[in-house]
Structure 1
């Protein structure tokens, strides 16, 4: 499973892996239960690799945030996304110090933690995130 092929779909719980493209959209597979179905152009879709989290200095790619959580938790599950907002904010501060508390809401943190835990359950290899970051930062130079 490649991070670049994982998407979130508005209105559908969980994360999905893009399997193939069709004339009207894409065929995806749920990373939780493995069910396959089409996603059409009418759905709002977000590629996880295109998502970034605001800090006071810059926007940090979601891949780096997820890698930070994986490092903190030794690639195991993190706290539940159903914890109190104050607990989630404190936890997120450990994972991404200096995140912009005015622009990153508790609901955003819940979603990131929920996605991370979904990736853990799906057996995602978090070590691949470092390789991709190294490649993308070399291209920028």
Structure 2
């Protein structure tokens, strides 16, 4: 699940896909209706990849919460975010049983479920855990001699002429 370019913009409903950065802000495309909007630098914008949910022990990244919903729903749509608070909280407890009941409000649960349904409608949810590639692994044909770093050659300073 790629949430690096998905934005939530304060005061605007739905989610947006980051298109282009400009000097004065950026251009984003709505995931619900496809309209493009310009957003200034003063707007309160959150990347979904940077959002976390409070649990009793730590903070869970939103991508993991979304993955839990995708697993429960077999990548199908979740319940409506317009359900009553008791139903939403019971559903969310199935998704993230250890969520902090004092710091996660019903409005937060509504947002998460609404966002999941928007992403699911666009085919952007996945129940698979992403595989991280290691950039530091060496090719098997690379020898130790080839990986040593040479020190830069420095010129010796000459004594000034008298």
Per the alignment, in what secondary structure is the counterpart of residue 27 of structure 1? strand
**Which position in structure 2 is the counterpart of 1:135?**
132
**Which position in structure 2 is the counterpart of 1:97?**
97
**Which position in structure 2 is the counterpart of 1:113?**
113
**Which position in structure 1 is the counterpart of 2:55?**
55
Question: Within 2, Cα distance between the matches of 1:25 and 1:130?
Answer: 32
Question: Within 1, Cα distance between the matches of 2:117 and 2:8?
Answer: 14
Question: Within 1, Cα distance between the matches of 2:55 and 2:64?
Answer: 13
The Cα of 1:135 is off from its aligned counterpart by 2.7
- Alignment CA distance shift 1:69-1:43 (3 Å): same
Contact 2:116–2:125 (Cα < 8 Å) also in 1: no
The Cα of 1:125 is off from its aligned counterpart by 4.1
Give the alignment's TM-score, normalised by structure 1: 0.89
**Which position in structure 1 is the counterpart of 2:124?**
124
**Where do 4+ consecutive residues of structure 1 move more than 6 Å?**
none
**Which position in structure 2 is the counterpart of 1:29?**
29
Structure in which a larger fraction of residues adopt helix: 1
How many residue pairs get aligned? The number is 135
The Cα of 1:2 is off from its aligned counterpart by 3.6
Contact 2:19–2:28 (Cα < 8 Å) also in 1: yes
C-alpha RMSD of matched pairs (Å): 1.9
Per the alignment, in what secondary structure is the counterpart of residue 27 of structure 2? strand
Give the alignment's TM-score, normalised by structure 2: 0.78
**Does the alignment pair 1:9 with 2:9?**
yes
Per the alignment, in what secondary structure is the counterpart of residue 112 of structure 1? helix
The Cα of 1:51 is off from its aligned counterpart by 0.5
Structure 1: 5+ residue stretches without partners: none
- 1:112-133 superposed Cα distances (whole Å, 9 cap, x missing partner): 0000000011221425x621xx
Structure 2: 5+ residue stretches without partners: 136-162
